[in-house]
Amino acid sequence: MRRLRGRTFIIGAVATLALAACGSSDTGSSASGGGLEKTTISVGVLAIADVAGLYIANQKGYFKEEGLTVKPEVLQSTQFAIPKLLSGGLDLALGNYFSIISATEKTNDKFRFVSDTFQAKNDVFDIVVPKDSPIQSVKDLKGKKISIASLNSIGELAVGSTLRVAGLDPKADVTYMPMAFPQAPAALKAGQIDAAWLTEPFLTGVQKDMGARKIADTMTGAMADFPIAGWTATEDWTKKYPKTMAAFQRAILKGQQDASADRKAVEQALPNYSPIKPEVASVINLGAYPTSLSATRIQRVADLMFEYGYLSKKMDVTPLLVPLPQ
Amino acid sequence: MIDRRVVRGAAGAAVLLIAAELAGRSGLIDPVLLPPVSTVLAAAGGLVADTEFWTDLWGTVTVWAIGLLIAIVIAVPLGVLLGTLPRAELAARPIVEFLRPIPSVALLPLVTLLIADGHSVKITVIVFAASWPVLINTMYGLRDVDPVAKETLRSFGFGRLAVLGRVSVPSAAPFVLTGVRLAAAVGLVVAISAELVAGGTDGIGAFMIRAGSGLRTDLILAATLWAGILGLAANALLVRVQRRAFRWHSARAGGGT
């Protein structure tokens, strides 16, 4: 009898957990916290330097000051952020400008950028080849395989732009191999790819660990200081939770300011969300952390996408931006 | 008897580990790309003290256990139904055969659109994957029931439900539990795959994503090792349950499982 009761208890406990898990989707809509429509928000992030501003804001209590609890949810790629934003599983997510602008044209989904978060700088996105590779310059990439994080993305735009400058045709002269950044170093070593388009910390990793050679910085010329990603929500969300959005914007701005003012702040934030070794964090190249959401800057992404055929017609990005109300 | 089996199993594991370590040390496998076994084991040991990893491990165990439980609750009654009603089984067979081979991880984008809560998304795909082994084993278990036993009861005037409850279900139960064991393994695979693909607030897969982004292959492999240990532990637990509950069955079948 005792055994039976134990079993019943376990079944009951697990069933309760199951119900709790099913019902936990609308937590945090309580009214406390300075009139915010929602005090707890889930934010989709990648465990990379782009989101340092968010973690700094969390660490320093900038969100708390606004009465906001931010729950970061780690994603493998920003690709999964889109269905999660649409289903309401995420309130906000790190959205790379290319993908979101592309999705805006292709589908009827209406996304809004509420804050800029990351911008390219020198040697944050490079093309590298193995130490003993015969490839010496971008021209030598003709007929070769280059890994990029995913097809139809900022990677294609950046590598394509670099190839065009060298007189190559990105569509005909090279083969793009979609491959997640963490997998690329091994593929490069094994010869599955001839060159890899990488960002930090993988870029520093392959150069240090296997002597990989940089042949081009892809964020130069037309791509110099290129906007990479911003905090993204659906239009519905921004309309439904305007106060929550403004609170998030104010807090993230402070985090961005800290990140852009002091590289040490980023180095200290990184180990909080990625098990990166401190000695690696201290040497990687970091991009810029913009402190304003500028239509002029983001427009560059849409214009270049149109120029290279990733958009079928010109797009004005102004309606996509929701700058912090002054 | 069991002691010898444990010793042999441990010896097998040790030989494999030493071989892998030698491959790393001798340069056969590049230690930069694939850290040597000793490094991975040290990292796996270090994770014991890492509270964040425990959160992730617990996250995986929770969705896994809930998913498995829901799968059992759905698949066992359905299996009993289809196993006892041949016509219903015939009608359902095309649907089952169509749905069964669909890789549940491929359903992730769809499920993510439909369900907001990240954990429920994972539980859903686990339930989808884990239901099939339970369902199929239950169906076959019921089909394999000794017809003489059923006929005997029937000739004593017992009704269909009584025969089902007194003979069919008990004698199919060991098969059901075998199905549950298979489902447990499948469920863990799907849980971690789903976390790897879709990410999340916690989970071994989410831990691996973070480790990958932080250039820490040693931690990815250490987490993999823990995932393997989880699977082993679950299987050992279920084998024990099977031995305890169905001693009569293993005695009849001649030996343990």
Distance from CA of A311 to the nearest CA of B (A): 24
Quick one: three-class SS letters along A254-309?
HHHHHHHHCHHHHHHHHHHHCCCCHHHHCCCCCCECCCCCCHHHHHHHHHHHHHCC
Distance from CA of B33 to the nearest CA of A (A): 6
pLDDT along chain B (257 residues), means of 10: 74 82 75 79 90 92 96 95 89 91 89 88 95 94 88 88 87 92 94 90 90 86 92 92 80 48
Residues in B closer than 8 angstroms to A17, CB to CB, are 62, 65-66
Say if the Cβ atoms of B116 and A87 lie within 8 Å.
yes
Residue B253's pLDDT is 53
Q: Which of the four pLDDT bands, split at 50, 70 and 90, describes residue A68? A: very high
Mean pLDDT across chain A, nearest whole number? 85
Say if the Cβ atoms of A277 and B215 lie within 8 Å.
yes
pLDDT above 90 (res A126) = yes
Nearest by CB to A182, from B114, B199, B213: name it: B213
Question: Burial level of A3, CB count in 10 A (0-12/13-18/19+)?
Answer: exposed
The string of pLDDT tens digits covering residues A136-165 is 888 888 889 999 988 888 889 999 999 999
Residue B213's pLDDT is 83
CA B250 to chain CA mean position, Å? 21
Nearest by CB to A21, from B112, B114, B123: name it: B123
Size (chain A), residues: 326
Who has greater pLDDT, A12 or A239?
Answer: A239
Residues in B closer than 8 angstroms to A89, CB to CB, are 112, 115-118, 121
**Helical segments of chain A, H only:** 2-23, 52-59, 62-65, 81-87, 97-106, 154-165, 170-173, 184-190, 202-209, 235-240, 242-261, 263-273, 278-281, 295-307
**Pairing between β-strand A111-119 and β-strand A195-199 as defined by DSSP bridges:** unpaired
Residue B2's pLDDT is 61
Q: Is B244 on the interface with A (CB under 8 A)?
A: no
Say if the Cβ atoms of B32 and A210 lie within 8 Å.
yes
Q: What is the pTM of this model?
A: 0.79
Q: Is A80 on the interface with B (CB under 8 A)?
A: yes
Nearest by CB to B112, from A48, A83, A209: name it: A83
pLDDT above 60 (res A107) = yes
Residue B252's pLDDT is 55
The residue in chain B having the minimum alpha-carbon distance to the alpha carbon of residue A18 is B66
Q: Which of A149, A22, A302, A128 is nearest to B117 (CA)?
A: A22
Residue A94's pLDDT is 93
Average pLDDT over residues A160-172: 89
What are the Cα distances from residue A274, in Å, to A47, A261, A268, B168, B220?
6, 21, 11, 53, 12
Residue A24's pLDDT is 42
Residue B256's pLDDT is 42
- In the sheet that holds A145-148, the strands lie side by side as A175-178, A145-148, A195-199, A125-129, A213-217
Residues 202-221 of B with CB under 8 A from A: 206, 209-216, 219
pLDDT above 60 (res A17) = no
The string of pLDDT tens digits covering residues A18-56 is 444 444 444 444 444 568 889 999 999 988 888 999 999
The residue in chain A having the minimum alpha-carbon distance to the alpha carbon of residue B205 is A76
Cβ-Cβ contacts under 8 Å for B93 (sequence gap 6 or more): none
Q: Which of the four pLDDT bands, split at 50, 70 and 90, describes residue A222? A: confident
Structure ipTM: 0.73
